[in-house]
Amino acid sequence: MNKLRIDDLDLRGKTVLMRVDFNVPQHDDGTVRDDTRIRAALKSINYVREQGGKLVLMSHLGRPGDPDKAANEAERAAIEKRNATLKMDPVADALRNLVGGNVMKLDACTGAEVEAAVAALQPGDIILLENTRFYKGEKKNDPKFAAQLAKLGDVYVSDAFGTVHRAHASTEGVTRHMKQSAAGFLVAREMAYFGQVLNNPERPLVALLGGSKVSDKITVIENLLNLVDTLMIGGAMLFTFLKAKGLEIGDSNLDEPGVDVAHKIMEMAEEKAVKLLLPVDVVVADAFDNNANIQTVKVSAIPAGWRGLDIGAESINMFCDEIKSARTVVWNGPVGVFEFENFAKGTRAIAETLAGSDVISIIGGGDTAAAVTQFGLADKMSHVSTGGGASLEMLEGKTLPGLAALTDKPGDGCCCCQGKDQ
């Protein structure tokens, strides 16, 4: 990787302004329901402390409303009440439990009091700022807000992969005012894995795409067709491909605008000599329900009134054989409705095959990460991405603003933009 990394920095006595992704799932009362995202940043947090640095952490949490947009007083009060549950205090409590140390939570992100608290930090101390999205300047990437944030650190570290695809003040604007901006360990790992897929994959390289809509993933598919040896399609989007091939799909999900896209993708795959594997059989149900009647049929024999909710046994074997003969597999999107046990078999079999083989397995964030976690197999994968949107944009070949903004290592270009911006 050719961006500065946290371990390239001299941190002794320095104040590190670190963007983390503490946008954690919460209980109704605001307390933290799942601290996975906080744990994910611990390696970088602990490293700074071990090196004798001081930490100022910042993150967004949820989607605060704007009280100024309320139509009346009652609406304003409701927005303010909801926003109160998005304060970072419970996150600070969860962090305190994990680091076993003194975490000072501040009620603001900018201003004289914040600056004074930061100036008083001792090596090893941690400050957690208030929710960055309480400030309108955050999402607008307001240069003034970014400059105020930048005053709080000697160096900047990005360890929030889940937000690097957004050009916000705390992810991008702030770097314009810092001498050194580096990737934390979490972001560095994401960049290394996706950078390898995009620039120098071990082949054969197989991509497995599932999930709901073809139109949502068109740019990813187009870019992957330039990179992969094999593309396998599952999930609801399969049925749009089957429709494009002139098959009857019963009540299966159809992404109408995606039919033309599917045609184009099949043509492109042929032109680029990419092996396009579509399932040959599917599990169909007479309702979208775990307890519906089910049967396995050939893709050419989906009965009217039935809908495909998983790939069939023959297709599972075909996909798993392809995975076993691959060196690298990138997987984004479950191949069936894995949330229902009766339609999770395909997704589970793929996850188990990846877990049991020595293939380099890179799992996109979001639902695919949720699926492998649900099966207890996340730690058997080479890499499970922490950013659903960001990982998709990486695979689309886009320049991610929060990564492009990091300082290049002397003499190096930028790996995250695939050479485009060099």
Q: Under the criterion CB under 6 A, does residue 90 sit at the interface with ligand AMP?
A: no
Q: Are 395 and 332 in contact (CB under 8 A)?
A: yes
- Amino acid in position 233: I
CB of 309 to ligand AMP, least distance (A): 5
Q: Under the criterion CB under 6 A, does residue 281 sit at the interface with ligand AMP?
A: no
- The H-or-E segment that residue 105 falls in is strand 103-105
Pick the catalytic residue from 124, 389, 397, 413.
389
Q: Are 334 and 347 in contact (CB under 8 A)?
A: yes
Q: Under the criterion CB under 6 A, does residue 53 sit at the interface with ligand AMP?
A: no
Q: Under the criterion CB under 6 A, does residue 172 sit at the interface with ligand AMP?
A: no
Q: Under the criterion CB under 6 A, does residue 365 sit at the interface with ligand AMP?
A: no
Out of 15, 253, 328, 386, the only residue in the binding site for ligand AMP (CB under 6 A) is: 253
Q: Under the criterion CB under 6 A, does residue 312 sit at the interface with ligand AMP?
A: no
Spatial separation of the C-alpha atoms in residues 346 and 283, rounded to whole Å: 9
Q: Is 389 a catalytic residue?
A: yes
Q: Under the criterion CB under 6 A, does residue 374 sit at the interface with ligand AMP?
A: no
Q: Is 366 a catalytic residue?
A: yes
Q: Half-sphere exposure (CA, 13 Å, Cβ side) for 253?
A: 18
Q: Half-sphere exposure (CA, 13 Å, Cβ side) for 252?
A: 29
Residue 312 or 366 with smaller CB distance to ligand AMP: 366
Out of 250, 333, 365, 387, the only residue in the binding site for ligand AMP (CB under 6 A) is: 333
| DSSP letters spanning 170-208 | TTTGGGGG-S-EEE-HHHHHHHHHHHHHHHS--SSEEEE
Q: Under the criterion CB under 6 A, does residue 258 sit at the interface with ligand AMP?
A: no
Q: Under the criterion CB under 6 A, does residue 372 sit at the interface with ligand AMP?
A: no
Out of 367, 387, 392, 416, the only residue in the binding site for ligand AMP (CB under 6 A) is: 367
Of residues 293, 283, 376, 370, the one with CA closest to residue 332: 370
Residues 175-234 touching ligand AMP, rule: CB under 6 A, are 210-212, 216
Q: Is 195 a catalytic residue?
A: no
Spatial separation of the C-alpha atoms in residues 422 and 406, rounded to whole Å: 14
Residue 157 or 390 with smaller CB distance to ligand AMP: 390
6 alpha carbon, distance to own chain's centre: 21
Of residues 408, 391, 413, the one with CA closest to residue 400: 391
Three-state secondary structure call for residue 124: coil
CB of 265 to ligand AMP, least distance (A): 16
Residue 118 or 337 with smaller CB distance to ligand AMP: 337
Residue 30 or 308 with smaller CB distance to ligand AMP: 308
**Interacting residues toward ligand AMP by CB under 6 A:** 210-212, 216, 235-236, 253, 308-309, 333-334, 336-339, 366-367
Task: Please list the active-site residues.
Answer: 37, 213, 366, 389
